[in-house]
Amino acid sequence: MIVLAAGEGTRMKSSLPKVLHKISGRTILEHLLNAVSEVESKEVRVVVGAGSQEVTEALSTFSKSAKSVLQEVRRGTGDAVRIALADSPATGTVLVCAGDTPLLTSQTLKALVESHRESGAAATVLTAELPDPFGYGRIVKANGELISIVEERDADKDQREITEINSGVYLFDIAALRDSLTKLDKKNSQGEEYLTDVIGILREAGKSVGTYLTEDFTEILGINDRSQLADVSALLRDRINEALMLSGVTIVDSASTWIDLNAEIEADVRIEPGTSIQGKSKIKAGAVIGPRTTLVDCEVGAAAQIIESHCESSKIGNQAKVGPYAHLRSGTVLAGDVKVGSFVETKNAHVGEGSKVPHLSYVGDAEIGKETNIGAATIFVNYDGVEKHQTKVGDHVRIGSDSMLIAPVTIGDGAYTAAGSVINEDVPPGALGIGRARQVNILGWVLKKRKGSKSANAAEEKK
């Protein structure tokens, strides 16, 4: 089978090749190849041109069977297919798709294959009825039979009225296709060899050609510019959310909920508005995610809650509570019943069962035991400007508010630190670590140095 992806994607106005733009966590090309691989996985040839190296590299990350074939100069879709056919078998059928239609499903492709097999035609074109056919090739029929395909720019006024369009997906008899490709010309407004002209050529040679109409026209929508990218992204978002809702996930506001195809979400998860779940995230039953939360490659345990937070490559245990306004960076592992509260940032941090980091803290390169409480505004000082160091905090520890724990340092089980301490030596189990200057009160200082001020008067009245 052949996928055409050599075009420049000029209308995207992007330095990235068009087919490598992502929707729902996968590139446009990957979406298409996934659908295609369920129909025919052997001998997939992807014609690349603009950004060929990038596309070929990306291709190898998600498809083992696909091979790229280079079309050095963009001479049109007919030329692209000719190049891809060069080392194909002499007989049989070939599926041709455009690389920029990511919503195509394998069911539709299978139905097209079936229809082509039943009719025995030399070519079958996948078509759709579009409410607005502008920009697409039109399906010209006479007495219900396909005659030719005419591009928008080459169509006359009557032809432009036709709403049945060419999806850019076809099945061809290889021998008939090869023969027709030798007869292509460039007599069209773009001066390109159009694959679509093959239909008229086959027809004139007395071969039978047919169409197969898709039920859902959204499947064949192509992406040529950023506006279409947004439209197709929204359609895919709805498709994903719909499937999740039918599987038992509550999505409060589907329009503001963006979930990647690779995410796994169990029934009875509740997703609040403004939430994005990306990458290979896994979420267990009963968890509540959002509002306004982003998860990238995270595992979330049963009945955990994550509110208004940003989390990457982290594991969040059962019944854990995160946020509002927490930032879990990569390597964060929260055990069950952990609480990470407002304005807390964590990185490479393991937090044990039932422990709490409730407010305004940075916990980096740390291991915290069970049932420990980290007081507000505690900083794990992990970086000496050259290297990162580890902090260990035991079970049932009480770290006083505003402590600076200067790594490497170990706080033993059941130990305390006094609020406002700078702790740069280990605290043994059960000890109280105090690392701060003693307080001194200079009596009468305000009365003497700020005489007549409101503060001095207030103090005066109390005397």
Residue 186: CB minimum distance to Ca ion, A: 19
Q: Binding to ligand UD1 by residue 98, rule CB under 6 A? A: yes
How many residues touch Ca ion under the rule CB under 5 A: the total is 2
Here's the x/- map for ligand UD1, 72-91, by CB under 6 A: it reads as --xxxx-xx-----------
Site for Ca ion in 197-226 (CB under 5 A): 222
CB nearer to ligand UD1: pick between 81 and 306: 81
d(CA 75, CA 357): 62
Looking at beta carbons only, is 81 or 351 nearer to Ca ion?
A: 81
165 belongs to the binding site for ligand UD1 (CB under 6 A): yes
165 binds, among ligand UD1, Ca ion, none (CB under 5 to 8 A by kind): ligand UD1
Residue 194 contact, options Ca ion, ligand UD1, none, Cβ 5-8 Å cut-off depending on partner type: ligand UD1
Which residue has the closest beta carbon to ligand UD1?
Answer: 137
Q: How many helices (H) and strands (E) does the chain have?
A: 10, 39
For residue 361, what are the CA distances in angstroms to 209, 322, 337, 340?
Answer: 69, 13, 18, 9
Q: Is 201 in the site for ligand UD1 (CB under 6 A)?
A: no
Tokens 């946020």 -> residue:
323
Catalytic residues: 359
CA distance 345 to 380: 10
Footprint of ligand UD1 on 342-401 (CB under 6 A): none
Mask of contacts with ligand UD1, 6-45, x by CB under 6 A? Answer: xx--------------------------------------
Separation between Cα atoms, residue 166 and residue 169, nearest integer Å: 8
Range 53-72, binding Ca ion (CB under 5 A):
none
Encoded tokens for 110:
């299978």
Residue number closest to Ca ion, CB atom: 222
Residue among 22 and 329 whose Cβ is closer to ligand UD1: 22
In the complex, the smallest distance separating the C-beta of residue 224 from Ca ion, rounded to whole angstroms, is: 5
Q: For the chain, what is the largest distance between any 2 Cα atoms, rounded to a whole number of angstroms?
A: 114
Which one, 149 or 415, has the nearer CB to ligand UD1? 149
- Cβ proximity to Ca ion: between 48 and 406 the closer is 48
**Sole window of 92-100, 309-317, 385-393, 408-416 interacting with ligand UD1 (rule: CB under 6 A):** 92-100
Q: What is the rounded CA–CA span in Å between residue 252 and residue 67?
A: 42
Token pair 């200079």 is at which residue?
A: 442
Contacts of 334 (CB under 8 A, 6+ apart): 314, 315, 316, 317, 320, 322, 328, 340, 351
**Residue with token string 């990185």:** 347
The CB density around residue 256, as the number of other CB atoms within 10 Å, is: 17
The amino acid occupying position 122 is: A
Tokens of 52: 């060929």
Q: How far apart are CA 367 and CA 304, in angstroms?
A: 21
Q: Toward ligand UD1, which CB reaches closer, 151 or 345?
A: 151
Interaction partner, residue 74 (ligand UD1, Ca ion, none; CB < 5-8 Å by kind):
ligand UD1
Beta strands 138-142; 145-150: pairing state:
antiparallel
Name 373's bridge partners: 356, 398
**Pick 100 or 193: Cβ nearer Ca ion:** 100
Q: Which stretch binds ligand UD1 (CB under 6 A): 160-168, 227-235, 289-297, 348-356?
A: 160-168
Residue with tokens 């305004």: 360
Residue 297's DSSP bridge partners are none
CB 6 within 8 A of CB 74: yes
Name which of Ca ion, ligand UD1, none residue 25 binds, using a CB cut-off of 5 to 8 Å depending on partner kind: none
**CB of 164: closest distance to ligand UD1 in angstroms?**
11
Residue 301 interaction partner, one of Ca ion, ligand UD1, none, beta carbon < 5-8 Å per kind? none
**What does DSSP say about strands 22-23 and 26-27: parallel, antiparallel, or unpaired?**
antiparallel
User: Does 137 sit near Ca ion (CB under 5 A)?
Assistant: no
Binds 5: which of Ca ion, ligand UD1, none (CB < 5-8 Å by kind): ligand UD1
Sequence-ordered list of residues with C-beta below 8 angstroms from that of 346, at least 6 positions apart, any chain: 314, 326, 327, 328, 329, 332, 340, 357, 362, 363, 364
Residue 3 CB, shortest distance to ligand UD1, in Å, is 8
* Residue type, position 429, single letter: P
Query: Minimum distance between the CB of residue 403 and ligand UD1, rounded to whole angstroms?
Result: 59
Q: Token digits for 295?
A: 């998860």
Q: Which is nearer to ligand UD1, 154 or 426 (CB)?
A: 154
Q: What are phi and psi of 147, to 5 degrees?
A: -105, -50
137 binds ligand UD1 (CB under 6 A): yes
Interface with ligand UD1 by CB under 6 A: which residues?
4-7, 47, 49, 71, 74-77, 79-80, 98-100, 136-137, 149, 151, 165-168, 194-196, 222, 224
Which residues here bind Ca ion, judged by CB under 5 A? 100, 222
